[in-house]
Amino acid sequence: MAFQSRGPRGLSPSVAAMLRPFSGYAQFLYLDRGYAFFAPNPGPSHLLRVEIEAENQTPEVRIYPDLEQQWPRLLYHRHFMLAEFLNDAYQPKLPVEAASLVGPELSIEELQAWRLGRQRYEKITDSMKNRLKSEFGNREIKIDRLEHLLPDFVAYAADPTPLNDPATYLVIEDIPITLETLLGGQLQALPGPGERESVPVPTGEPAQGNDPAEQNDSSLQESSQ
C-alpha cells in the first residue's frame, strides 16, 4: 500500500496515518523492506544470451538467468544480478579517430574516462567468458545483452500477452560510438525493432527487475572475483 499510494509529492497522508500504528512492529520484525525498484513502475530487466560453440553444429544458446538451470531461487537471483551488473557496466567502443579530437572539443580526461569504461566492461565480459569456458570445455563463447521489456499498460489491457512473449526480448547490439555522437555527449542509438535479431524465450519465470540494495552485493561479488 505504501508504494502503490506514493506519488510525486510523497506518500499519501491518509495511508501514512493508517500504517503508522504498525510501523514499529514492521521495523522490529524486518517486514518493511519495501522493494521500491519493483513498484509502482518497474523498468525493463536485462539478461545474458550466451552462444556456446558446437563443432559442425549450430551454436548452443543459453539464457541467464534461467529458473530451470539455476535453483534454488537465490542462485537464480545471483545470476540475474550479474546480468544486470554487466549491463550497467556497458560502455560503447570508441572509434579509432577519437584520439585525433583531443583538444578544445574533447579533453584528454574525457577520452581516458571513455577508454577506462570500455576496458572495464571488456574485462567483466572476459571474466564471464572464462568462467563459462571452464564449464563447457574451453569452447568459444559469445555473450550478448538482452533487454526484457514490460508491456505498456494500455496495450496490455487491450490485448493481454504473456510476460515472456518473444517480442519482449531484444538483443542490445554492441555498436561503437560515432564521432558525432561522442562530441554530442550522447550514446549511439540502438537499431530499430526491425533490425534486431530474434531471441529464444527463456524457460522458467521471467525476471522483472533488480533491487538496488542487492545490486551492491553483485558489485562486491564481482570485486571478490
User: Would you list the domain boundaries of the chain?
Assistant: 1-34, 43-224
pTM of the model: 0.65
CB atoms within 10 A of CB 195: 9
pLDDT of 192 higher than 60: no
Question: In this predicted model, which residue has the larger pLDDT, 138 or 39?
Answer: 138
Mean pLDDT of 72-84: 94
Strands (E), the chain: 6-7, 10-11, 45-52, 60-64, 141-148, 169-172
Write down the pLDDT at residue 85: 96
3 state DSSP class of 11: strand
Over the chain, what is the mean pLDDT? Answer: 80
Write down the pLDDT at residue 26: 85
Grid coordinates given for 190: 540502438
DSSP string for residues in 25-60: HHHHTT-----GGGSSS---EEEEEEEE--TTSPPE
Write down the pLDDT at residue 134: 93
Using pLDDT thresholds of 50, 70 and 90, give the confidence band for residue 9. confident
Over residues 84-126, the pLDDT tens digits come to: 999 999 999 988 777 777 777 778 888 888 899 999 999 999 9
Write down the pLDDT at residue 109: 86
Question: Distance between alpha carbon 10 and the CA centroid of its chain, in Å?
Answer: 27
Over residues 170-185, the pLDDT tens digits come to: 999 999 888 777 777 5
3 state DSSP class of 61: strand
